[in-house]
Structure 1
Amino acid sequence: MSKHQADGKKVTTRRLIAMKQAGERIAMLTAYDYTMAKLVDASGIDMILVGDSAANVMAGHSTTLPITLDQMIYHGASVVRGVKRAMVVVDMPFGSYQTSPIEAVQSAVRIMKETGADAVKLEGGSAVYEAIRLIVQAGIPVVGHLGLTPQSVHQFGGYNLQAKEDAAAHKLLEEAETLERLGCCALVLEKIPAVLGKQVADRLEIPVIGIGAGVDVDGQVLVLQDMLGLDEGFSPKFLRRFALLGEAVTSAIGEYVDAVKDSTFPNQNEWY
């Protein structure tokens, strides 16, 4: 449990703004299922992202591209059922909003109706302006995402640091300001220089959540499985492991296997 005791009051878009204004950092993690979402929520987290990273950590794909809208709705609904306090944001997967703004609204409406989530998130800047405008107009809170946008990994040629050059940094700043004007309730910045992360956070009134964007943004997000140390094969610079649960899990399962094979499980207190 966090030493920063969270009250039971639901985290909403208005509360996120109040947290930024008060200088209170926002803690965000991913979750993809009921059991883990319930634990994450009870630990005092402010926001839970049902990320399209489920394609990686839940399904074993090398990119986020394969996951479908139906699958994201399944994960989103599972998470919502386990959450009482945190604001739940569901990623709009690749292919659910790029074709047309109308498709984007239809996808966002499905997510909200079928999951009970509090907001949707989609990646990109100028290419998705109209989609964001229409989704917000439909009454759906939107979280933007700039910098490294994993759905564009093939266009980028890898998961590289973004907005390093002055022109790219200037463009990102402009896009961030536009996303705020269009009505985004928050913005995720991924894998950009820390100085640029601070500039964006200082300029915007909405909260800016970083992942590899330095400490001077309004909050941080990590993939739950990564920060719990369930997969030690993934080690980007921005990742801190707060536990090594992969070792604990394999050790526990190994003990179970031994107990079964040695006939020490179940014992007489564990059968009827």
Structure 2
Amino acid sequence: MKLAIAQMCSSNTHAANVATLEALAAEAHAAGADLLALPEAAGLVNKDFVAASQIVRPEADDPFVAACRALASQYGMWIHTGSTPIRLEGEERFRNRGHLIDPQGKILAHYDKIHLFDVDLPGETPRRESDRYVPGEEAVSVPTPWGVFGLSVCYDIRFPHLYRDYARAGASVLLVPSAFALRTGEDHWETLLRARAIENGAYVIAAAQAGHHDDGRQTWGHSLVIDPWGKVLLDMEKRIGLAVLELDMTAVNRARASIPSLANERPYHIRA
């Protein structure tokens, strides 16, 4: 599989991010990519909930999703949208939703971020993703020409059972689009991603946001591609743009044959 992975510094307007997307998709197509992988919040980064509420749309009307579908069809290329906020009927809060789009522009699957980062620390302003988003309830795996893809978003990476369940369901690629904060990014980002790859003998593709965003936040960057043995094949560091590389999908079977933890698993109970 020839992968194009994008590192973005998404804006607080759909139009600016669609323009970036169009350039990225053209570059990915020119490089012969089979799949373009985008980061979390690729379509919109706007922490002002009131302002965002004026522009976030239902999936069918979302301009970023529409642009991804049109470009996938135009270039005959798979696109993973990373995620973008969308609104469901009857819900005031958004869904943090990612889409896998086939080369005909069809949405094959969507995934709503399940795990939301809510934390209250003494002396700090509470940070609660659940104030803005409704959590998803379903893990989603998708058959593709290169094997099964397991879909997730950012904070999900701290919940290893999700990825184990994907591996048990046959996933050979784990998609982890993200917008990691600076402190946790520096200390935890690579370690968590490499652990998920090693534990499950799967490729991890983690497209990320990077830099200073229009809404004032900063993100860590370091989009990573990690092979099933845990080797980092690509680290984009702080660079905005596109990287293209070939993934040898036979590496999944080799890693799982060498460390057959999926086959060696046994049921157990915890004695209290």
TM-score interval, smaller chain: 0.3 to 0.5
- TM-score normalised by length of structure 1: 0.44
Q: Which has the higher helix share?
A: 1
Larger C-alpha radius of gyration, 1 or 2? 1
Larger RCO: 1 or 2 (CA < 8 Å, sep 6+): 2
Q: Which has the higher strand share?
A: 2
